[in-house]
Chain A
Amino acid sequence: MIRFLLNQELRVEQDLDPNVTVLNYLREHLGKTGTKEGCASGDCGACTVVVGELEGDRIRYRTLNSCLTFVASLNGKQLITVEGLKDNGQLHSVQQAMVDCHGSQCGFCTPGFVMSMFALQKNGTGYDKAATEEALAGNLCRCTGYRPIIDAAEQSCKAGSQDQFDRQHEATLAQLRKIQPDATCELNGADNRSFTPLTVADLAELYVTHPDARLLAGGTDLALEVTQMHKRLPVMIYVGNVAELKTVDTFDDRIEIGAAVPLTDCYDVLSREYPDFADLLHRFASLQIRNQGTLGGNIGNASPIGDSPPALLALGANIVLRQGNSSRTIALEDYFVDYRVTVQQESEFIEKIIVPRAPTENNFRVYKISKRLDDDISAVCGAFNLQLEDGTVTDARIAFGGMAAIPKRARHCEQALLGKPWDDETLETAVRALAEDFAPISDFRASKEYRLLIAGNLLRKYKMELSAPEQAIRVTAHV
């Protein structure tokens, strides 16, 4: 059984197929058709909803793609849909702003934009262009060209007036507290089961009992198996309510990030430590996906084009794997074996990711190349982390995504640099060595020739950035 608030109304679901997405639940089960299906793959944002979660005394509002969210993950939360925004027949200030600014044309993407804008207004303090673009990057509009939508975001953020959610804040808090789970929940239906444990121990035990279960974290990849590949998932274990997996701890020498920490929440700590991580995370899918997707999931799905693994490989990250009561720590680079194959054993899962603290001379840089700057998958992602002493390379960690069947370190390239003077000759030797490291493929994102050429060019760019940090040589950095 799960309990959640739909707008302000308490809903209890006992018998529901856990393979049902929030989008289909809203449209088909409840007849709430304001939320639209544009792609059912988390790429267009038309189905955006807002989920409120209890965090101490506050409710944290986040946007999600309802097409990628399974209903079980709503347990103990508040789901806000476009139907919940009008108050006593009056449009909400974000809705009114969209009307005033002529922000809708065909209207089909509009509810999704409205929800993104609602969360932006709720979480923000006034209008900020960068924050607005970040909030809306996962919402596609084919009609307007976006200018009036940005105007509407500006108007509504500046207005930021009290709404019914503010007025009912205390009542909502009380309701949410009342429905917080205190033990593992189950939601079963149509012969499919899902479990929502609250502790790592329970999770580990459940996974041992159900070794064929699929672990559901953000679901931004797993849900595609249901919505795009039309598979059924007979048993799922949702890890998003396991508190221990959602902590971030900073030590003198390392940062430990729970595997179920949403990417949004990794942002602060990682970008403070490694400013380039901020750039990468900013371009990592969309805000909806980052609110949902986890660092553990991005590693665990073992995609050759996941955005965080190359960066984490270059940083020398380790991961802790847990199985039953035992755990082991391995270097991330030892985790990936082959295309979507890892060393993970049956019933074993990623518990946390351990990232070393930055050295004084922070030479970590990461570059993502894609057709579209925002919310696109890398053609190539290159991460570089050299240590230099007196102009000589003393340590080299270079890793790429999109260049091989797994995210992979460029060992030949690193060898060509190690112990060598950090000059143009060494650089060009190292660039040539990349051809020994990688034999990339051609696909619709890029040709193999382009991939190899830019891999080398990224190393060249890295050297330029280290040598002349004052010169902006990224299009994203240019103002």
Chain B
Amino acid sequence: MALVRQDLKTGVGRKIPHESAGKHVSGEAVYIDDRLEFPNQLHVYARLSDRPHARILKIDTAPCYEIPGVRIAITSKDVPGQLDIGAVVPGDPLLADGKVEYVGQPVIAVAANSLETARKAAMAAVIEYEDLEPVLCVEEALKKKHFVLDSHQHKRGDSAKALASAPHRLQGSLHIGGQEHFYLETQISSVIPTEDDGMIVYTSSQNPTEIQKLVAEVIDVPMHKVMVDMRRMGGGFGGKETQAAGPACMAAVIARLTGQPTKMRLPRVDDMTITGKRHPFYVEYDVGFDDDGRLHGIDLTLAGNCGYSPDLSGSIVDRAMFHADNAYYLGDATVTGYRCKTNTASNTAYRGFGGPQGMVAIESIMDHIARTLGRDPLDVRKHNYYGTEDRNVTHYYQTVEDNQIAELTAELEASSEYQRRRREIAEFNRQSPILKKGIAMTPVKFGISFTATFLNQAGALVHIYTDGSIHLNHGGTEMGQGLNTKVAQVVAEEFQVDIDRIQVTATNTDKVPNTSPTAASSGADLNGKAAQNAAITIRNRLVAFAARHFDVTEEDVEFRNNHVRVREQVLPFEELIQLAYFNQVSLSSTGFYRTPKIFYDHEKARGRPFYYFAYGAACSEVLVDTLTGEYRMLRTDILHDVGASLNPAIDIGQVEGAFVQGMGWLTMEELVWNQQGRLATNGPASYKIPAVADMPADFRVQLVENRKNKEDTIFNSKAVGEPPFMLGIATWCALQDAVASVGDYRFAPLLDAPATPERVLWGVEKIKQAMARDAVVETVD
């Protein structure tokens, strides 16, 4: 009896290590490239376009075959089924068809007995082009209305009128850079042809079902011929939501044509050249506000640089628009989103999915307003926060319920000692001629749900075997975020068994069909619920059976800490399972879940696209060298809302990792293309993601405690994958604060993102020039 009084040690809310941690640290965790190869294994290399925009005049693959070890060289003409692998709408040919639209577009694919041989052969092919005029710049695309998809607008009230009548008015523009995912494991798929003309696909993908569909389409078979297996990714971050499909489909086509097992792994430089990134954005704004900095009206243009094809840009620019308010009531607002087409790789999902760009725009505006009024930017931010009773409806007409932003900010303002440090920093800056400190506190309010409403569904499959061990499978994918661990905790909780009794198996389209991508932070929300439903189905059967068997009421049957109590009798869990089996009770069930309440009317640009919002705030302090623009992150305090955490260790890991990734996006991670449209920063030697010393020297991260999600989410937790990414904005604003100190905070540096040391130094120079102009004006006066 004592045992059943104890709580489960590995259930929901516990700090369980990642299910693969022991295998990660020992090198035993198997990634696709670690799988044993076959004697007749083929390796694929794609020859890429070296032109940003050109007609293909000729492709001669004959020279490829002169290299010993080559098996096949294919062009778009050799694809047996559908050529286009566009995720939502067409636009992404698997291999270039008649024309190329960016430097890095795959033109031919060559398979050989080694990757090096395939590469050599691919480079031997003769490809002739006739160059066409490229569009490489987002502003030019916007001006020429060169779009991949239609534009969309959110409109509330009359922004023109509000702007005209506001006491103050400001205009500005801003470039926001993109971001390379830099998952440590590059894109890879390995396929094996089957006896039914089908394909077994091992892939590193966030979206097995889409891979299944696209592979079926390119080899021209029904989906049921294709089985996709996905055990783990070496990082995804959105980069493997749609763009894992290329290597999978190329390998499948070649396997289909040759009958041989085929693998395609992208070398790092090719991965960075071929695949899309976070969308760079160009932003124009016109805002009207009062003496407190409170917005009366806004006209905001968000132009996403989508690259050459639509990919997911429709939803991504939508999400930028949905988050152009961040935590602020915009007043009368017109927010317009454009999907600009440029001759670069097709930009794609990346943690935050457009949301971060929308938020950077409004946070830049907050800073601009504050400097103009000579106020602390935090004051201006607080004046603009959504209210709880009024001023609580977004510009797309969703009411902001359970708004925590004001109290969360107040708590962090106190715990980070923002006000005291703000004063100390001002004093430091007066004493220090070269090094300047900056501080900023910025909020995050992030909407949770796929905005394509139908995607908000998930399935799971649970079996209990006769020894009491449990097999768990769900439609989500493990990319390091700890999803399998969390979902296993949910099932452990429902059956009241320890997690080591549960084996989560590879995501597999044979087990759970028609799954949504693991994206939009939705993994645990959707798959946790689906798995819970599967577990509850089985548990209900067990309870009903036990009640019958022991002749008690169902209320008398209780699952507790690896046991089942039936009134005074206590059975080990596995004994009940055996008993149930011998009494012909089904011990397997699927589970399904769909998110309630949400809808969005695209025509009217109104609705409730989000089930709920996740909140957070960060306070960052930085140190800037005003002679070189170099800087360091001194301290960051974070308070973040995950509802009732499923696993605080994993959630803290998500918050910290997302913050550092967001910081990297806005500071050192700079994508540079040359004049010919070639990505110059195409490897880690030239593209710098944060390293260990870039983490804030003093890093204090807290989860909001005792605050359950008011919505009926999985154990009242909140999604955590994306929202904390935008906490990184605090570092970008803090850098601007340090730069602004050079001009006694009277001028806004208005840096573009990322704020590289070079941009920071130009900011300093800009402020110095503004000071000089000001001094001249004062002298004249």
List the interface of chain A (C-beta within 8 A of B).
Answer: 27, 31, 33-41, 43-44, 46, 81-83, 85-86, 91, 94-96, 98-100, 102-111, 114, 132-133, 136-150, 228, 230, 367, 369-377, 379, 443-447, 450, 453-454, 457-458, 460-461, 464, 471-476, 478
Query: What are 20 pairs between A and B in contact, CB < 8 Å?
Result: A34-B27, A36-B185, A39-B683, A41-B268, A102-B649, A106-B480, A107-B23, A107-B480, A139-B692, A142-B183, A143-B653, A144-B660, A145-B690, A147-B695, A149-B692, A373-B691, A444-B686, A450-B629, A454-B627, A478-B634
Of the stretches B319-327, B410-418, B704-712, B755-763, the one at the interface is B755-763
Rounded to whole Å, the gap between the CB of B707 and the closest CB of chain A is: 23
Known: A39-B268, A106-B235, A369-B630. A83 touches B684 (CB 8 A): no
CA distance A141 to B479 in the complex (A): 13
A137–B686 Cα gap in the complex (Å)?
A: 16
Most B CB within 10 A of own CB, among A443, A458, A473: A473
User: For residue A375, which residues in chain B have a CB less than 8 angstroms away from its CB?
Assistant: 691
Q: What's the least CB distance linking A6 to chain B, in Å?
A: 14
List chain A residues, Cβ under 8 A from B694: 372-374
Q: Given known contacts A142-B689, A374-B691, is B657 in contact with A105 (CB within 8 Å)?
A: yes
A82 pairs with B21, CB closer than 8 A? no
Q: Would B18 and A104 count as touching, CB distance under 8 A?
A: yes
Q: A108-B235, A443-B680 are in contact. List 17 more A-B contacts (CB 8 A).
A: A38-B684, A40-B268, A99-B17, A102-B649, A105-B18, A144-B660, A150-B692, A230-B119, A369-B628, A372-B690, A373-B693, A377-B685, A379-B758, A445-B686, A454-B629, A473-B433, A473-B435
Measured CB to CB, the nearest residue on chain A to B237 is A142
Q: How far is the CA of A416 from the CA of B23 in the complex (A)?
A: 62
Answer yes or no: B732 CB below 8 A from chain A CBs.
no
Contacts of A114 in B (CB 8 A): 25
**Bound Cα distance from A100 to B15, whole angstroms:** 10
Q: Are B758 and A447 in contact (CB under 8 A)?
A: yes
Partner pick for A82 among B26, B652, B668, B680, CB 8 A cutoff: B26
Inter-chain contacts of B186 with A (CB < 8 A): 38
Rounded to whole Å, the gap between the CB of A468 and the closest CB of chain B is 10
**Please, which residues of chain B bring their CB within 8 A of the CB of A372?**
668, 688, 690-691, 694
Cβ < 8 Å to A, chain B residues 750-769: 756-758, 761-762, 765
B661 at interface by CB-CB < 8 Å:
yes
Report the nearest B residue to A380, measured CB to CB: B628
Minimum CB–CB distance from A476 to chain B (whole Å) comes to: 7
Closest B residue to A38 using CB positions: B184
**CB distance A476 to B632 under 8 Å?**
yes
**A453 vs B758: C-alpha distance when bound (angstroms):** 10
| B624, CB-defined interface residue at 8 Å | yes
In the complex with contacts A106-B479, A143-B480, A145-B695, A43-B683 CB distance below 8 A: yes
> Given the complex, which residues of A lie within 8 Å of B684, measured CB to CB?
38-39, 41, 43-44, 140
Task: Give the complex CA separation of A39 and B185 in angstroms.
Answer: 9
Binding site for A on B (CB under 8 A): 15, 17-18, 20-31, 33-34, 36, 116, 119-120, 181-186, 232-237, 267-269, 432-435, 479-482, 623-625, 627-632, 634, 649-650, 652-653, 656-661, 668, 670, 672, 680-681, 683-686, 688-695, 699, 701, 756-758, 761-762, 765
CB B349 to nearest CB in A, in angstroms, measures 15
Give the CA-CA distance A257 to B562 in the complex, in Å. 67
Contact call A142/B184, Cβ cutoff below 8 A: yes
Contact of A95 among B26, B184, B656, B660 (CB under 8 A): B26
- Taken together as a complex, chains A and B put the C-alpha atoms of A90 and B235 apart, in Å, by 27
Give the shortest distance, in Å, between B237 (CB) and chain A (any CB).
7
Contact A106 B434 (CB under 8 A): no
Instruction: Specify which chain B residues have a CB less than 8 angstroms from the CB of A374 in the assembled complex.
Output: 691-694
Q: B631: which A residues are within 8 A, CB to CB?
A: 475
A395: min CB distance to chain B, Å: 24
A373 to B756, CA, bound (A): 11
Given known contacts A145-B661, A461-B434, A478-B623, is B24 in contact with A107 (CB within 8 Å)? yes
Cβ-neighbour of A144 out of B36, B628, B653, B757 (below 8 A): B653
The chain B residue sitting closest to A479, CB to CB, is B697
The minimal Cβ–Cβ distance linking B421 to chain A, given in whole angstroms, is: 15
Q: Closest CB of chain A to B24's CB: distance in Å?
A: 3
Say whether B624 contacts A140, CB under 8 Å.
Answer: no
The interface residues of chain A lying within 8 Å CB-to-CB of B31 are 36, 108
CB–CB A111/B27 < 8 A: yes
Report chain A residues within 8 Å CB of B25. 82, 91, 94-96, 98-99, 103-104, 110-111, 114
CA distance A458 to B630 in the complex (A): 12
Q: List residues of chain A with CB within 8 A of the CB of B630.
A: 369, 373, 475
- Please state if A85 and B656 are interface contacts (CB–CB under 8 Å): no
Nearest A-chain residue to B479, judged by Cβ: A106
CB A379 to nearest CB in B, in angstroms, measures: 7
* Known contacts A36-B234, A104-B21, A444-B672: A86-B26 contact under CB 8 Å: yes
- Complex CA–CA separation, A465 to B672 (angstroms): 34
- With a CB–CB cut-off of 8 A, which chain A residues contact B765? 453
Q: How far is the CB of B206 from chain A (nearest CB, A)?
A: 12
Which of B433, B656, B691 contacts A147, CB < 8 Å?
B656
Contact between A146 and B625, CB atoms less than 8 A apart: no
Contact B480 A464 (CB under 8 A): no
By beta carbon, the residue of chain A nearest B765 is: A453
Q: Give the residue among B25, B181, B631, B765 with the most A Cβ atoms within 10 A.
A: B25
Instruction: Give the residue of B182, B233, B634, B659 whose beta carbon is less than 8 angstroms from that of A145.
Output: B659
- Given A150-B692, A450-B758, is A472 in contact with B435 using a C-beta cutoff of 8 Å? yes
**Bound complex: CA of A104 vs CA of B625, how far in Å?**
34
Chain B residue nearest to A152 in the complex (CB):
B25
Residue of B nearest to A85 (CB): B26
CB-CB under 8 A from B693, the residues of chain A are: 133, 137, 373-374
A230 touches B120 (CB 8 A): yes
Residues of B contacting A108 in the complex (Cβ-Cβ under 8 angstroms): 31, 183-185, 234-235, 480
Contact across chains for A143 and B235 when beta carbons are under 8 A apart: yes
Q: Which residue of B lies closest to A46 (CB)?
A: B184
Give every chain A residue within 8 A of B688 (Cβ-Cβ). 371-372, 376
Q: Do A145 and B22 touch across chains, with their CB atoms under 8 A apart?
A: no
CA gap between A108 and B186 in the complex, in Å: 10
- Asked, given contacts A114-B25, A147-B695, A454-B628, whether A105 binds B660 with beta carbons under 8 Å apart, the answer is no
A109 engages B21 (CB within 8 Å): no
B27 touching A146, Cβ below 8 Å: no
